[in-house]
A and B are shown apart, each in its own frame.
Chain A
Amino acid sequence: MAGKTLFDKIWESHVVREEPDGTTLLYIDRQLVHEVTSPQAFEGLKLAGRRPRRPAATLAVPDHNVPTTDRTLPIADHISAKQIRTLEENCRDFGITFFGMDDIRQGVVHVIGPEQGFTLPGTTIVCGDSHTSTHGAFGALAFGIGTSEVEHVLATQCLVQKRPKTMEVRVEGTLSDRCSAKDIILAIIGKIGTAGGTGYVIEYTGSAVRALSMEGRMTLCNMSIEGGARAGLVAPDEKTIAYVKGRPLTPPEAMFERAVQAWRSLKTDQDATYDAVVTLRAEEIAPQVSWGTSPGMVLGVDQKIPDPRTIVDVKTKSATERALTYMGLSPNTPITEIKIDKVFIGSCTNSRIEDLRLAASLAKGRQVAASVHAMVVPGSGLVKQQAEAEGLDRVFRDAGFEWREAGCSMCLAMNADVLQPGERCASTSNRNFEGRQGAGGRTHLVSPAMAVAAAIEGHFVDIRHWS
C-alpha cells in the first residue's frame, strides 16, 4: 500500500462519515471566531433554536474593527462598536470564551490562536477568515470558511467537505541574507499564480522550510490562500513541540507526552506521492515586492516593472495595463526607484514578536524618511507587551515609527487606519487588491525587513546590499 501524506493522515483521522461519492462529513476540532463574519451565524442559530455543540471548542476575539489607538476611549465608529458588542453578547449567550478589547490576550485571530496554544498539530481548525491557513504551520489542517459554515460548525462541530488534492511545494537551500519566509511565499505565488493552488492543500517541505522558525512557517502558511490553496501545511517537528509547550491552552501536563508521541507521527511517508509538485531554490529568491493589484503580480526587488507591450497573452496584458494604471506605475521602472508614502508593519502575516525584533534591529539608530509615515501594529496584546519588555517600542519610536495597539488595522482598513487615494504603501500584509487599504490606495507587499528599509530610504532598496 502506498504511503500517506501528512494531509492524508490528518484528513483520515477526522472523517466522521463518507458517502460513496466522496462527500465527507469532517470533524472540526477547533473554531476561531471574529466579529465580522460571525453575527449572521449566531443569528442563524438563534432563529433555528440551535445551540453550539461544543462551545468549549471555540475561541472568539474582535480584531478587524478594533481601533489601534488609545483603548480607554470609546470606539468612534458606532457601527464598528456595535459589531464588537454583538460578538461579546453572542459569546455570553452561547457560553463561548471571548477575549475582549481590554484583555491583554486580544489580537489578530491568527496570532492569538497559536499564542494561546489553541492551535495544535494534527487538528482541524476553521475560522470565518481566509487566512486561517496560517495555523497549518503547526501541521494542522486549517482553512477559511464562510459565515453559513461558521454556523454549521457551531451547531454540529462538523463540515461537509470534498477531499482536496495535495501539492508539495519544496524549497531547498539557504535563503540570502535578510530574506525571509515572506519572500519565499511571495516567490511561490509569483511562480504558481493566484489560482495555482485552487483545489489543493499545499505541504511546504525542503531544507529552507525546515530551517524556518515557527513564526516564519506561519508567515508561509498564512499566504497559501493568496496562491489559491485553502490550506498550507508544515509537518510538526521539535520546533513545533517546543513552541506549543507550556502555553495556556496546550494539553495538560498529564497528557502532553502522549500528545507529543502522536504529533511525531505526523509526517508524509517516504513512499507517499502528491498530486502536484513545485520546487524552488532558496538561493534564487530575491527580496520580493508586489507591483500590481493581485498577489501574483510580484517581482524581485532587483527587477523592473513589466511592460504590457511585451506581453502576448491578451488576458494578462489587459490585467497588467489595468494594474499599472491603478498603481500609478510606468513600465520598465526599476522597483528600487518607487517612492513610498506610508509603511505598515503588522497583520496576521508579519506582526509576531520575531517580525518586530527583526524590524527593530534594522530600524535601530536610523530615521524614517521625512516624506514617509510609518506605523507598527503588533499582532496581539501579548506581542505588544513582550516587545515593550524588550524595548522594541522605544527603538521604533526613536526612529520615527508610530507604535500602536493590536489589531488588523491597515491590513484591510476597516478601522480608522486607512490609505488616502493615490497614497503608496509598503505593507507587510498579504493583499494588494484595489482599495484593500483604502479606496485608491496603492499597496506593495513586502517583508518586514524590506518595509523598514523602505521607510528609512523613502523608496524600495535591495536589503541584501543595504548597509
Chain B
Amino acid sequence: MEPFTTLTGLVAPLDQINVDTDQIIPKQFLKTIKRTGLREGLFFDWRKKQDGSPDPEFFLNQSRYQSASVLLTRDNFGCGSSREHAPWALLDQGFRCIIAPSFADIFYNNCFQNGILPVVLKADEVLALMKQALGTEGYRLTVDLANQTVTTPEHTVYRFEIDPFRKDCLYRGLDSIGLTLEHERVITAYEARRKREAPWLFSDIPS
C-alpha cells in the first residue's frame, strides 16, 4: 500500500449528502475479479444524462476537476454496500483524500486499506471549504497526516482527529495482514484456550 504523508491537491466538490456506494460504483462494475481499471465505472449513472450523453453539469465531467486528488463531500459518504470497489474506483480516478463531516463505517475502513485518507471535519468547516472550492477555479488544499491538518490557500488550518493505529499504518504504508501475523503466537494461544471453552466452534464443516 502506498504511504500517505502530505498531499497538496486540487479539490473536487460533490455537494450532496448520503452518497452511497451503489452511486460511487454501480453493480455492473462489480463483476470484475481485479482491483484496477474501475475508473470508468466511477459515478457511472451520474455522469450521463437521460439520453446517455455525458452530463456537462456533473463535476467529474468538467475539465477543471480532471486532476483532482481531494474529494470534498457531505454527510454519511459511502453508505450502503460494503463493496471495496468504491475506494478502488476513487483511487483509480486519482483521489487520495476524501473530506466530509461523516462517513459510513465500512467505507471509512476500506479507505485505510487502500492508502486513501478519509478526513472528518466539522460540518461548518466543510461548508466553508465547499463554498471556496465551488467558487474558486484551481482550489487546492494541503493535507498533512503527521500533523493532522488541512490547510487552505488562505492559510486557514483545520485540525482533524484520527485513530493513532490507523494513522501509523497509513503513514508508513504497512501491510496490515503482515502486522497481524506478527501476533501468530497470541492467536494460537487464544485458539487453544477457546477450544477448551467452546469446542463446538472448532468442529470442521463437512463438505
Contact = CB atoms under 8 A, between A and B. Distances in A.
Interface string A244-270: 000011011001101100100000000
The winner among A57, A59, A97, A435 for most chain B CB atoms within 10 A is A435
A86 B104 contact: no
B38 to A, nearest CB: 11
B163 A82 contact: no
A8 interface: no
Contacts of B16: 319
Given A50-B177, A194-B76, A414 B22 contact: no
Contacts of A118: 205
Contacts of A129: 81-82
A196 to B, nearest CB: 10
Contact of A198 (B76, B113, B198): B76
A211 interface: no
B163 A151 contact: no
A160 B165 contact: yes
B84 A412 contact: no
A16 B110 CA distance: 22
A315 B75 contact: yes
Contacts of B80: 130, 431, 433
Contact of B183 (A16, A97, A146, A440): A16
B200 A259 contact: yes
Interface string B80-104: 1111100100000000000000101
Given A16-B186, A86-B33, A144-B106, A97 B207 contact: yes
Contacts, number: 186
Given A59-B205, A86-B33, A228-B79, A156 B180 contact: yes
A39 to B, nearest CB: 4
B53 interface: no
A380 B193 CA distance: 36
Contacts of B200: 120, 251-252, 255-256, 258-259
B114 interface: yes
A146 B113 contact: yes
A108 B79 CA distance: 21
B155 interface: no
A464 interface: no
A21 B201 contact: no
B104 A40 contact: no
Main secondary structure of the interface of A (DSSP, over half): loop
Nearest to B75: A195
Which size class do A's interface residues fall under? 35 or more
Interface in B18-68: 18, 20, 22-23, 26-28, 30-35, 45, 50
A59 B110 CA distance: 23
A158 B179 CA distance: 11
Given A80-B31, A144-B82, A156-B187, A252 B203 contact: yes
B131 to A, nearest CB: 13
A19 B17 CA distance: 35
A118 B200 CA distance: 11
A215 B20 CA distance: 27
Given A130-B82, A152-B177, A156-B177, A319 B23 contact: no
Given A83-B31, A412-B27, A17 B186 contact: yes
Given A16-B186, A39-B33, A97-B205, A294 B83 contact: no
Contacts of B191: 27, 157
A71 interface: no
Interface residues of B, number: 59
A148 B84 contact: yes
A344 B165 CA distance: 44
A199 B200 CA distance: 31
Given A160-B176, A252-B203, A435-B22, 7 more contacts: A16-B183, A37-B84, A40-B33, A98-B207, A195-B75, A251-B203, A259-B198
29 contacts: A13-B197, A17-B186, A23-B165, A27-B194, A36-B83, A37-B83, A83-B33, A86-B33, A97-B205, A120-B201, A123-B201, A146-B106, A151-B177, A152-B180, A155-B181, A156-B181, A195-B104, A199-B105, A228-B104, A248-B206, A249-B205, A251-B200, A294-B20, A414-B27, A433-B22, A434-B22, A435-B22, A435-B23, A435-B26
Interface of B: 16-18, 20, 22-23, 26-28, 30-35, 45, 50, 74-76, 79-84, 87, 102, 104-106, 109-110, 113-114, 163-165, 176-177, 179-181, 183, 186-187, 190-191, 194, 197-201, 203-207
Interface of A: 13, 16-17, 19, 21, 23, 25, 27, 29, 36-37, 39-40, 43, 48, 50, 53, 56-57, 59, 64-65, 77, 79-80, 82-83, 86, 97-98, 118, 120, 122-123, 128-130, 144-149, 151-152, 155-158, 160, 162, 194-195, 198-199, 228, 230, 248-249, 251-252, 255-256, 258-259, 262, 294, 315, 319, 412-414, 421, 431, 433-436, 439-440
